[in-house]
């Protein structure tokens, strides 16, 4: 399979094949990828190489403004996503389906999405809250670097997921700006596209 376009819609209605793997991934840093017990500590957070410069610039520019965050969970394989979901189902029951994507429905498999975390006083912290200055900065500025807050507050019925102030997705500079300025999700953008109501 060829590399996915950066504006691809991935959700429960648009699944990736189980064998899809981004061709060129780059490790973003040396943290342990995420902080869950099921995870392999040898795994490092990775995203597609072609979007890495955009993420790096965003992180650097934020740091100049006193905003510091790291890329926590990046690429996840189809099988790894199943482990994530299985653990949450064991802990939460059916609520898990609102918190984690089905295998094939996870944007993490594209290599275009990541969750953020903090590194403070030598400790990793992935408890990202809406009111955190980092989350606020990203929600208001990530589009300048081609990223969007993928699962925003108030759009849960549209995206199928709870509000996730930590999850960002690369869609390209032009589309990110359009989605931000119109206050719509990627799902809504595709719905308009299918209905022929786009302004383009």
Q: Strand pairing partners for 168? A: 114, 149
Q: Strand pairing partners for 149? A: 168
Which of 33, 29, 55, 51 shows the shortest CA–CA distance to 42?
33
Q: Which of 3, 68, 134, 164 is catalytic?
A: 164
Which of 101, 96, 95, 97 shows the shortest CA–CA distance to 115?
101
Gap between the Cα atoms of 24 and 168, Å rounded? 19
DSSP 8-state assignment for residue 42:
T
Active site residue 164: yes
Catalytic residues: 164
């Amino acid at each position: 399979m060829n590399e996915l376009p950066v504006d691809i819609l991935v959700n429960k209605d648009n699944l990736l094949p189980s064998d899809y793997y981004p061709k060129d991934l780059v490790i973003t840093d040396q943290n342990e990828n995420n902080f869950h017990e099921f995870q392999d500590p040898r795994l490092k957070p990775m995203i597609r190489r072609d979007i890495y410069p955009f993420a790096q610039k965003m992180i650097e520019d934020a740091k100049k403004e006193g905003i510091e965050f790291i890329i926590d969970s990046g690429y996840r394989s189809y099988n790894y996503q199943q482990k994530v979901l299985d653990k949450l189902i064991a802990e939460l029951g059916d609520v898990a389906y609102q918190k984690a994507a089905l295998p094939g429905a996870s944007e993490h498999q594209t290599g275009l999405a990541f969750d953020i975390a903090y590194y403070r006083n030598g400790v990793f912290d992935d408890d990202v809250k809406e009111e955190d200055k980092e989350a606020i900065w990203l929600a208001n500025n990530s589009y300048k670097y081609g990223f969007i807050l993928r699962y925003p507050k108030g759009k849960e019925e549209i995206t199928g997921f709870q509000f996730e102030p930590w999850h960002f997705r690369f869609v390209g500079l032009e589309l990110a700006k359009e989605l931000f300025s119109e206050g719509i999700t990627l799902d809504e953008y595709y719905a308009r596209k299918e209905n022929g109501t786009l302004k383009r």
